[in-house]
Amino acid sequence: MIQGTSSGAGKTTLVAALCRIFSDKGYTVAPYKSQNMSNFAYAESNFEISRAQAIQAIGARCEIMPHLNPILLKPSGNYTSIVYLNGKRYKKMHAKDYYEKFVNSEGIKIASKSLKTLQKNYDLVILEGAGSPAEINLQRFDIANMIIAKKANASVLLVSDIDKGGSFASLVGTMTLIEKKYKKFVKGFVLNKFRGDIDVLKPGFHKLKKLTGVSVIGTIPLIPLSLPEEDSLNSNPKEFLWTKKNISKIDHELDHLAKTVKSNLDIKSIEAMLK
């Protein structure tokens, strides 16, 4: 499972890359994100999911289906979202009602059912978290991060955007704030969007290991990509037409991404975690 120290850390991109890497290795692979908040969807005649999971599915070379993103939240303002369950519009809900009356009852049941279906039908299911697992005010309602990791018995890689600065502090802080029972699931750190001399980082890697007991398993360089944005606060994502030509472009981008990530991560260690 890929979790992040914040939104925009690179979770979605890393999952897409790993889906393609392990598909290339001959595994049947599917991406999965239990709950996604985005106004940018992949829509077919009978369902909608986040377009991020649709792109990851292209990376995995698997069918695009509702199980990849069983809960989609489309923000509609004033702390409300339109909730989609299993690809179908459910209803508009206020954040308070969603968290306090839905996520830990119906929400986790729906998410768990989709996860079990994917685990039954694929060799590997690569999970993506949402935001940060260390939002201590929301942890008991968080069905996108550690609760799902526990249900899947998944090894977690924690990714941080080093280009923005503060990665070492955010990794240590995240490990400090997540509940003790979940710390054992975190098996490695990934520093994303790095530019510079990696030798400068190595003393920090050793200190991280001493402070947290967790090793850095890779540093991914800042990669210029043309993949559609998920729904970032730092950009203005454009609508995307799902034509054969555009999907072919995505496929080419995913190959480029996978090659770059593969050369900068300890893939053998990740493969061992998955077994």
Q: What are phi and psi for residue 127, nearest 5 degrees?
A: -90, 145
For residue 89, the cross-strand partners are 84
For residue 127, the cross-strand partners are 32
pLDDT reported for residue 236: 62
What are 183's two structure tokens? 């710390």
Residue of 225, 248, 271, 208 lying closest to 25 (CA atoms) = 271
Given CA atoms 62, 156, 42, 13 in this order, what sign does their dihedral have? negative
Question: Which amino acid type is present at position 266?
Answer: D
Q: In the 8-state DSSP scheme, what is residue 43?
A: E
pLDDT reported for residue 179: 95
What are 200's two structure tokens? 């400068």
For the chain, domain boundaries: 2-274
**Rounded to two decimals, what is the model's pTM?**
0.94
Question: Which amino acid type is present at position 62?
Answer: C
Q: Is 129 in contact with 14 (CB distance < 8 Å)?
A: no
2-274 CATH: 3.40.50.300
Residue of 55, 90, 97 lying closest to 73 (CA atoms) = 90
pLDDT per residue as tens, the chain (275 positions): 999 999 999 999 999 999 999 999 999 999 999 999 999 999 999 999 999 999 999 999 999 999 999 999 999 999 999 999 999 999 999 999 999 999 999 999 999 999 999 999 999 999 999 999 999 999 999 999 999 999 999 999 999 999 999 999 999 999 999 999 999 999 999 999 999 899 999 999 999 999 999 999 999 999 988 888 766 554 566 678 899 999 999 999 999 999 999 999 999 999 988 87
For residue 218, CA distances in Å to 3, 94, 122, 169, 190 come to 15, 40, 26, 17, 5
pLDDT tens digits, one per residue of 113-129:
999 999 999 999 999 99
pLDDT reported for residue 233: 52
Length, in residues, of the chain: 275
Residue of 153, 156, 151, 195 lying closest to 174 (CA atoms) = 156
Separation between Cα atoms, residue 113 and residue 125, nearest integer Å: 14
